[in-house]
Amino acid sequence: MMTQTPHLVTTKDGEQIAIWRVIESIKVSEASDDNVAAHTSIESIKVAKAQNILLTHGTFSDKHTCLKIAEYLAGLGHHCYIMEWRGHGHSSVPKDKFNFETVATYDFEATFGYLFDELELDNLHCVTHSGGGVGLTMFLVQNPHYIDKINSITMFACQAFGAAMNVKNYVKIFTAKLLTRLFGYIPAKKLKMGPINESYYTMSQWFDWNLQKNFNSSFIKHREFEENIINKVTNDDSFDYRQLMSMITIPIYAISARGDTFISPTGGCKLFFDAFDNPINVFREYSISNGNLDDYTHSRIMISRNAAKEIWPTVVAWIEKHAK
Task: Please write down the HEC assignment for all residues of 195-233.
Answer: CCCEEHHHHHHHHHHHHHCCCEEEEEEHHHCCHHHHCCC
Which pLDDT score is estimated for 32? 41
Which pLDDT score is estimated for 49? 73
**CA separation, residue 226 to residues 17, 156, 223, 285 (Å):** 29, 32, 7, 37
Per DSSP, 289 falls in state G
Give ∠ CA 17-98-60 in degrees, rounded to 5: 70
What is d(CA 234, CA 237) in angstroms, rounded to the nearest whole number?
A: 8
Indicate the pTM of the whole model. Answer: 0.90
Burial of 101 (0-12, 13-18, 19+ CB in 10 A): buried
| Contact criterion met (CB below 8 Å) for 23 and 3 | yes
Taking the chain (324 residues) in consecutive chunks of 10 residues, what is each chunk's mean pLDDT? 95 97 68 40 50 97 97 97 97 95 97 98 97 98 97 98 96 97 94 93 97 92 50 62 96 98 97 98 98 97 98 98 94
Which pLDDT score is estimated for 26? 66
Which pLDDT score is estimated for 219? 81
Burial of 210 (0-12, 13-18, 19+ CB in 10 A): buried
Domains in the chain, start-ordered, CATH in brackets? 2-160+241-321 (3.40.50.1820)
What is the C-alpha radius of gyration for the chain, rounded to an integer number of angstroms?
Answer: 20
Which pLDDT score is estimated for 20? 98
What is d(CA 123, CA 80) in angstroms, rounded to the nearest whole number?
A: 12
Which one-letter amino acid corresponds to residue 240? D
